[in-house]
């Protein structure tokens, strides 16, 4: 097992506060408690943590998480500049930190596994290099700086080798902004990342907000596609239907916001088809639409995970999880109903088709063996062998009606769950407003 990308994102946000903790200290982020296994606070800022599960620290899921360039820190900035033409000197610090963490696991805890590594910006390629060297199973990076310059060459002997790149292509996920507001200046290929699986999210053009580990909206081990569709933003991994939905929103907004006095609106297309072309060029091919069975499996897992998180959640986080759980159960109910009804309809259709085939075969056989009979006599013998006589149309209609009624009941149940989720959020907002008023 390994920590999820979302858990790693949470840990990236606390590096600069947790790296001053004593070894063995415990703290929580994102509803998960962790134990500090190792820390480093210098030119390279890093933590190594292991999750606490049911009161026991699981050292088999130890994660090393490294911060990016420290603005204003002379040595760190110098390393970032040098990285534009080769592997960042930070790679030595990260390699040493890996070794010291592995040694601590062995000495203090009788062993363990470094299951995750994560880097951001300048530390990204260095983390990728060290993780691939040690074949760490899960690497989660954010906006890697000078990734193309980090590949091995004679002039860059510490770079990522072809073998290491092959490992990264299978085990690394890199989250990046589409506008590459900072990495565009990394000296080579304008922020391109030549290893791992890339998840690209729509950038805003703001180098401060976009070049941040918190910028991508993550769910589990990938992007929260539903969030991006809802907010009219593009992201990798959308189906064609989802891209069209976002493209239409963008075209509509372009028409509404066009202003001759504002040059930034002049080139925003009102034709949604242009956005489809831009999507493929920037974010890659459309994702394959999952089957309803695959979606149902996914929602079952989501419901299980949310119920697990609710056991320890408190306050507004608990309310948010309850809302998410209600909506997930609603979708699960809809999908179960659709699949069950389709299964019934398929079984009826198959039985009907099989009976029709039997009738056809019987009639053909009868004509072949009844050589002494006239066609009219054969037809009279076969007259009972018809779909009208052998197929119970009333039973078919009743079964289909019952299936439709079941689906309608499940859909109504799902609608009630959605309404309950809406009421839950409305009540929470009313409570927050009341609390704010009482404080004044």
CB count in 10 Å sphere of residue 105:
21
Q: How far apart, in Å, are the Cα atoms of 278 and each of 180, 216, 269, 341, 390?
A: 16, 20, 11, 39, 57
- Asked whether the beta carbons of 164 and 99 are under 8 A apart, the reply is no
Joined together, the tokens standing for residue 230 give 């809802």
Give the span between the Cα atoms of 89 and 159, in whole angstroms.
Answer: 11
d(CA 290, CA 412): 24
Answer for the pair 36, 49: CB distance below 8 angstroms, yes or no: yes
Of residues 30, 33, 18, the one with CA closest to residue 65: 18
Give which of 174, 99, 185, 92 is closest to 139, Cα–Cα: 174
Cβ(117)–Cβ(48) under 8 Å? no
Cβ atoms of 142 and 216 within 8 Å: the answer is yes
Question: Model-level pTM?
Answer: 0.69
Dump the DSSP string for 301-355.
Answer: HHHHHHHHHHTT--HHHHHHHHHHHHHHHHHHHHHHHHHHHHHHHHHHHHHHHHH
Reading the chain (440 residues) residue by residue, the pLDDT tens digits are: 689 999 999 999 999 999 999 999 999 998 899 999 999 998 899 999 999 988 999 999 999 999 987 655 555 555 555 555 468 888 999 999 999 999 999 999 999 999 999 999 989 999 999 999 999 999 999 999 889 888 988 888 899 999 999 999 999 999 999 988 787 665 566 678 999 999 999 998 887 889 899 999 999 999 999 999 999 999 999 999 999 999 999 999 888 877 777 776 666 777 888 899 999 999 999 998 778 888 888 888 888 888 888 888 777 778 878 888 888 888 888 888 989 999 999 999 999 899 899 888 887 887 777 777 777 877 788 788 888 888 888 888 999 999 889 889 888 888 888 888 888 767 655 555 544 444 44
Note the Cα 77 to chain centre separation in Å: 32
| DSSP class per residue in 48-86 | EEEEEETTEE-GGGEEEEE----TT-HHHHHHHHHGGGS
Eight-state DSSP code of residue 421: H
How do beta strands 222-223 and 218-219 pair? antiparallel
Q: Which two tokens stand for residue 73?
A: 């820190």
Contact yes or no for 243/277 (Cβ under 8 A): no
C-alpha 341/C-alpha 272 separation (Å) is: 35
């Amino acid at each position: 097992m390994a920590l999820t990308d979302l858990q790693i994102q949470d840990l990236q946000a606390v590096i600069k506060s947790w790296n001053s903790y004593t070894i063995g200290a415990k703290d929580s982020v994102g509803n998960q408690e962790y134990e500090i296994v190792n820390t480093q606070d210098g030119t390279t800022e890093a933590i190594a943590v292991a999750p606490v599960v049911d009161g026991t620290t699981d050292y088999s899921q130890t994660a090393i998480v490294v911060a990016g360039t420290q603005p204003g820190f002379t040595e760190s900035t110098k390393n970032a500049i040098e990285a534009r033409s080769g592997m960042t000197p930070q790679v030595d610090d990260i390699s040493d930190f890996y070794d010291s963490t592995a040694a601590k696991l062995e000495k203090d805890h009788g062993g363990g596994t470094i299951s995750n590594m994560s880097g951001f910006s300048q530390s990204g390629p260095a983390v990728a290099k060290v993780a691939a060297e040690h074949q760490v199973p899960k690497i989660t990076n954010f906006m890697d700086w000078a990734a193309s310059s980090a590949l091995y060459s004679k002039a860059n002997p510490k770079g990522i080798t072809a073998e290491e790149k092959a490992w990264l292509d299978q085990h690394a996920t890199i989250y990046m902004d589409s506008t590459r507001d900072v990495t565009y200046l990394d000296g080579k290929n304008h922020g391109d990342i030549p290893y791992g699986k890339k998840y690209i999210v729509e950038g805003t053009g703001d180098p401060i907000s976009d070049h941040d580990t918190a910028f991508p909206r993550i769910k589990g081990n990938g992007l929260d596609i539903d969030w991006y569709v809802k907010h009219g933003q593009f992201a990798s991994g959308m189906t064609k239907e989802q891209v069209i939905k976002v493209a239409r929103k963008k075209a509509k907004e372009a028409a509404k916001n066009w202003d001759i006095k504002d040059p930034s609106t002049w080139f925003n297309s009102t034709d949604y088809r242009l956005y489809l072309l831009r999507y493929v060029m920037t974010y890659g091919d459309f994702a394959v639409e999952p089957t309803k069975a695959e979606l149902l499996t996914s929602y079952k897992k989501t419901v299980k995970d949310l119920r697990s998180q609710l056991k320890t959640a408190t306050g507004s986080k608990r309310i948010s999880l309850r809302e998410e759980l209600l909506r997930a159960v609603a979708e699960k109910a809809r999908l179960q109903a659709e699949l069950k009804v389709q299964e019934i309809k398929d079984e009826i259709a198959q039985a009907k088709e099989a009976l029709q085939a039997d009738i056809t075969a019987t009639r053909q056989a009868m004509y072949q063996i009844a050589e002494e009979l006239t066609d009219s006599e054969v037809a009279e013998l076969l007259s009972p062998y018809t779909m009208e006589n052998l197929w119970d149309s009333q039973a078919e209609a009743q079964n289909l009606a019952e299936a439709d009624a079941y689906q309608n009941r499940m859909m109504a149940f799902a609608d009630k769950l959605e309404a309950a989720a809406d009421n839950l959020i409305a009540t929470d907002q009313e409570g927050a407003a009341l609390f704010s008023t009482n404080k004044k």
